[in-house]
Amino acid sequence: MIRVPKVFYTQPDGTERVVEAVAGDSVMQTAVRNGVTGILGQCGGELSCATCHVFLDGGYDFPPVSEDEDDMLDVAATDRADNSRLSCQLVLSDGQEVHVTIPEAQL
């Protein structure tokens, strides 16, 4: 039985929104498609804008930060942390539940 992935988006004020996702989509695509406030994804997931910066809450089985993602996180509007990721690089799989916190600013 295939389980639908879910993303738990926590806003800077602590409010949370849970969104059912599609396996193979990114955390950013899911946010934009569902009108989640605070994730802009201006470059459409091309790893060139850092407007989908999130703080990944917990250890998940995602690939490590690439050199290109690392470079973009350096120019994110909100200071990066150890758990900073670009949500366009976080591709969801069946049954996965991911918790992210959205930073105060993306621009």
pLDDT of 1 strictly over 80: no
Measured in degrees and rounded to the nearest 5, phi and psi for residue 85 equal: -145, 160
pLDDT digit string (tens) for 14-51?
Answer: 999 999 999 999 999 999 999 999 999 999 999 999 99
pLDDT digit string (tens) for 48-71?
Answer: 999 999 999 987 889 999 999 999
What whole-number percentage of the chain has pLDDT above 70? 100
Range 6-101 has CATH code 3.40.47.10: no
Which helix H or strand E contains 67, and what residues bound it?
A: helix 67-73
Q: How many CB atoms lie within 10 A of CB 91?
A: 17
Q: What tokens does 79 get?
A: 């200071």
Length of the chain in terms of residues written: 107
pTM value is: 0.95
Three-state DSSP at 96 gives coil
